[in-house]
A and B are shown apart, each in its own frame.
Chain A
Amino acid sequence: EVQLVQSGAEVKKPGESLKISCKGSGYIFTSYWIGWVRQTPGKGLEWMGIIFPVNSDTKYNSPFQGQVTISADKSISTAYLQWSGLEASDTAMYYCAIALNGKFYWDYWGQGTLVAVSS
């Protein structure tokens, strides 16, 4: 069974760093792109970026370039999304997803990780 299991909810203060994870199982982790999606409270979905785990080829959508870092550790089939200095505006639900059965659509999703940033 294909699964993406994300790390648990986080409560952080502005300026703190954070790394959340997405562990894949039931498929060949290195063969498929992994994407990260942000959903701010009561708002829509936004693509943040994607990574190809076999060579860590990474692409960011422009609003997120330089704001977050996407990485992957293929030895443990896990992708990461990290911040070096959180802001209140980073408060959101974050999802990981993979394009397993087609190159251009995202058919398996993690359960989401809620990140709350408040002083």
Chain B
Amino acid sequence: QSALTQPASVSGSPGQSITISCTGTSSDIGGYNHVSWHQQHPGKAPKLIICDVSNRPSGVSTRFSGSKSGNTASLTISGLQAEDEADYYCSSFTSSRLYVFGTGTKVTVL
């Protein structure tokens, strides 16, 4: 199972919106509505911010939103803030009944 493909880096100014893509196949993203997104700050454990494509766990800012079309999922961060600077990873359930992560995207707030 190959890693899902994400852009290596995305940047934006405070207040702007940015979108991170996550491309897989019909055996993972395209086949299931079980895409999640994790945020990871340096030296910290990953934190779940989106589950099942577009749901936000309790306590996660409404500035984070998720969607999916075909084999590609997307994470949008609106009203970008300095605290959003981190690495972001998508993940999907797969036809092997296991999971796969994306390659990761570093978000920089200019």
Write out the residue numbers on chain A whose beta carbons fall within 8 Å of the beta carbon of B18.
none
User: Which of B78-110 touch A at CB < 8 Å?
Assistant: 89, 91, 93, 96-104
Q: Are B52 and A45 in contact (CB under 8 A)?
A: no
Q: Collect the chain A residues with CB atoms within 8 Å of residue B93's CB.
A: 104
Stretch from A23-31, A79-87, A109-117 that touches the partner: A109-117
Q: Which residues of B contact A (CB under 8 A)?
A: 1, 3, 32, 34, 36, 38, 40, 45-48, 51-52, 57, 89, 91, 93, 96-104
Interface residues in chain A, defined as those with a beta carbon under 8 Å from any beta carbon in chain B? 35, 37, 44-47, 49-50, 59-62, 95, 97, 101-102, 104-107, 109-112
25 contacts between A and B (CB under 8 A): A44-B101, A44-B102, A44-B103, A45-B40, A45-B89, A45-B91, A45-B101, A45-B104, A46-B3, A47-B99, A47-B101, A49-B98, A50-B99, A59-B98, A60-B98, A61-B98, A101-B57, A102-B52, A104-B32, A105-B36, A106-B36, A106-B38, A107-B48, A107-B57, A110-B45
